[in-house]
């Protein structure tokens, strides 16, 4: 077992120092830098430091890589020249021209498998592609459960039957270094070890393998308007359930190819169902009839120092009932030195500095008739942005 762990860890470290992994870090830097600009433009301040976001993503991604590697190695998931992963790249590049969220391999992988099954070209190992997509989504589900709430953004969205409601957009990107297997004919002791009789769990007929480092990136963006903890659990269950079901269908395809056709279609449509399900929640952040419902508390603000949290309801200010944000703004217009708030039927006193209280540092849930919406849109493709750039130049 010790020699195996030595090879496992050595090969995993090669994935971490792989130039592709460094490229993923650069991608995440660009991704989070754009989010920082969105925050300054939308909220008037940067909510989270870019460096902190990247470091937390790397730590969570590395841990997820070990988790994913455990399954790929012990199950015996292997890559060959005929796997066809390279063909997914041009398909993905075309799809993100339509919608950015189509960057997920569920779409390009499903399309590639269908092309291979129906036309025989390009050649692809349907089982490996579908199974790997399934494992990646199980891993993504675990990441969402453990790290998904990090860096969440408060948003306003339109919800059918409810008007404008508040919620959170979970926006995360994780670079994932992991290991998989490749067939080989070599005999180097540093690369090859005698494994137990039960390995791999998915039998392959006595073929010799070596572990190789692979790099991927998982990006998660989802707007949730329900209760936060419940929303995270639901996202985990949906992603993990989708991944497990896809792996199961891929495995059944070894005995009946019909399941590979089903799995290829489900790879795309199943992911669309996951996206659609997120839009059917009962909102938890909508302005009540009386008072103001806190959606988000800015870091370092007077509201944060006073212990106010998301979900708190402010019903009075200086003993006077309030029903709208305008009434609160009116009370703060004279820049008072202190204000007394009734928060969840308890009294909270906020003391400002010499210049008085300009803002409590709170973002409230929207009123039902609110026209403004706040989201990081990923439904537009690169065609849209290229067209917008050309129109500006014209």
> Are 99 and 119 contacting, i.e. CB atoms less than 8 angstroms apart?
no
pLDDT over threshold 50, residue 69? yes
pLDDT over threshold 90, residue 95? no
Residue 285 lies in a domain: no
Which of these, 242, 259, 241, lies nearest to 250 by C-alpha position?
Answer: 259
Residue 41 structural domain: 2-280
Segment 214-238, tens digit of pLDDT: 888 888 888 888 888 888 898 999 9
Taking residues 164-174, report their average pLDDT. 89
Residues 206 and 313 in one domain: no
How many Cβ atoms from other residues are within 10 Å of residue 21's Cβ?
23
Segment 194-208, tens digit of pLDDT: 555 555 545 555 556
The C-alpha atoms of residue 15 and residue 217 are separated, in whole angstroms, by: 13
Residues 276 and 296 in one domain: no
Exposed/middle/buried for residue 263 (C-beta within 10 Å: 0-12, 13-18, 19+): buried
Residue 97 lies in a domain: yes
Q: What is the pLDDT of residue 362?
A: 92
Residues 273 and 194 in one domain: yes
Query: Phi and psi for 331 in degrees, rounded to 5?
Result: -70, -30
pLDDT over threshold 80, residue 165? yes
Which of these, 89, 168, 147, 84, lies nearest to 120 by C-alpha position?
Answer: 84
Residue 115 lies in a domain: yes
The C-alpha atoms of residue 20 and residue 155 are separated, in whole angstroms, by: 33
- Examine the fold and report which residue of 280, 307, 325 is the final residue of a domain before the chain moves on: 280
- Examine the fold and report which residue of 254, 280, 306 is the final residue of a domain before the chain moves on: 280
Q: What is the pLDDT of residue 394?
A: 45
Which of these, 344, 368, 232, 243, lies nearest to 294 by C-alpha position?
Answer: 344
Residues 16 and 111 in one domain: yes
Q: What is the domain count for the chain?
A: 2
CATH of the domain at 336: 2.30.42.10
Residue 373 lies in a domain: no
Task: Render 130-182 in DSSP notation, one character per residue.
Answer: HHHHHHHHHHHHHHHHHHTTTT-EEEEEEETTTEEEEEEEEEEEEEEEEEEEE
Residues 176 and 55 in one domain: yes
Residues 85 and 136 in one domain: yes
The C-alpha atoms of residue 113 and residue 111 are separated, in whole angstroms, by: 5
Instruction: Of 285-289, 291-295, 344-348, give the lowest mean pLDDT range.
Output: 285-289
Residues 259 and 307 in one domain: no
Residues 101 and 234 in one domain: yes
> Are 105 and 74 contacting, i.e. CB atoms less than 8 angstroms apart?
no
Record the pTM. 0.83
Segment 325-363, tens digit of pLDDT: 888 888 888 888 889 999 988 899 998 877 888 889 999
Residues 307 and 274 in one domain: no
Which of these, 96, 148, 108, 100, lies nearest to 132 by C-alpha position?
Answer: 108
Residue 377 lies in a domain: no
Segment 6-62, tens digit of pLDDT: 777 888 888 888 888 888 899 899 989 989 999 999 999 999 999 999 999 999 999
Residue 256 lies in a domain: yes
Residues 265 and 305 in one domain: no
pLDDT over threshold 60, residue 209? yes
What percent of the chain shows pLDDT beyond 90? 38
Residues 298 and 238 in one domain: no
Q: What is the pLDDT of residue 225?
A: 86
Predicted confidence band of residue 392 (pLDDT cuts 50, 70, 90): low
Residues 99 and 178 in one domain: yes
> Are 130 and 265 contacting, i.e. CB atoms less than 8 angstroms apart?
no
Q: Rounded to the nearest 10 degrees, what angle do helices 105-119 and 126-147 cross at?
A: 170
Q: What is the pLDDT of residue 269?
A: 94
For the chain, where are the alpha helices, taking DSSP H only? 2-16, 19-43, 50-75, 88-98, 105-119, 126-147, 228-252, 258-277, 302-305, 325-332, 382-393
Residue 381 lies in a domain: no
- Examine the fold and report which residue of 280, 312, 332 is the final residue of a domain before the chain moves on: 280
Q: What is the pLDDT of residue 112?
A: 95
Residue 332 lies in a domain: yes
Cβ partners under 8 Å of residue 166, min gap 6: 154, 155, 156, 225, 283, 285, 286, 293, 295, 364, 365, 366
């Amino acid at each position: 077992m010790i020699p195996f762990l030595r090879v496992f860890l050595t090969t995993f470290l090669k994935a971490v120092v792989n130039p592709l992994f460094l490229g993923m870090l650069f991608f995440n830097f660009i991704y989070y830098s754009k989010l920082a600009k969105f925050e300054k433009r939308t909220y008037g301040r940067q909510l989270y430091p870019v460096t902190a976001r990247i470091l937390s993503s790397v730590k969570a991604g590395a841990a997820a890589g070990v988790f994913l590697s455990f399954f790929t190695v012990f199950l015996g998931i292997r890559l060959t020249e005929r796997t066809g992963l390279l063909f997914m790249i041009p398909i993905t590049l075309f799809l993100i021209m339509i919608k950015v969220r189509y960057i997920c391999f569920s779409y390009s992988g499903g399309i590639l498998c269908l092309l291979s099954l129906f036309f025989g070209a390009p050649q692809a190992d349907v089982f490996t592609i579908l199974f790997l997509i399934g494992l990646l989504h199980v891993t993504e589900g675990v990441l969402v459960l453990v790290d998904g709430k990090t860096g969440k953004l408060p948003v306003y969205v339109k919800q059918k039957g409810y008007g404008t409601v508040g919620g959170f957009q979970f926006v995360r990107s994780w670079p994932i270094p992991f290991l998989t297997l490749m067939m080989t004919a070599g005999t180097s002791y540093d690369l090859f070890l005698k494994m137990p009789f039960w390995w791999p769990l998915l039998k392959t007929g006595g073929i010799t393998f070596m572990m190789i480092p692979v790099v991927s990136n998982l990006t998660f963006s989802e707007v949730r308007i329900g209760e936060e903890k419940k929303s995270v659990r639901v996202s985990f269950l949906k992603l993990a359930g989708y991944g497990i079901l896809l792996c199961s269908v891929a495995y059944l395809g070894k005995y009946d190819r019909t399941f590979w056709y089903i799995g290829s279609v489900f790879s795309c449509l199943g992911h669309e169902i996951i996206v659609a399900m997120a839009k059917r929640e009962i909102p938890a952040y909508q302005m009540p009839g009386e008072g103001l419902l806190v959606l988000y508390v800015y870091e370092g603000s007077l509201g944060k120092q006073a212990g106010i949290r998301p979900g708190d309801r402010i019903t009075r200010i200086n003993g006077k009932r309030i029903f709208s944000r305008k009434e609160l703004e009116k009370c703060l217009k004279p820049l008072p030195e202190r204000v007394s708030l009734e928060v969840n039927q308890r009294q909270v006193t906020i003391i400002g500095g010499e210049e008085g209280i300009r803002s409590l540092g709170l973002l409230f849930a929207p009123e039902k008739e609110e026209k403004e919406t706040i989201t990081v849109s990923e439904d537009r493709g690169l065609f849209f942005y290229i067209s917008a750039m050309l129109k500006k130049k014209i």
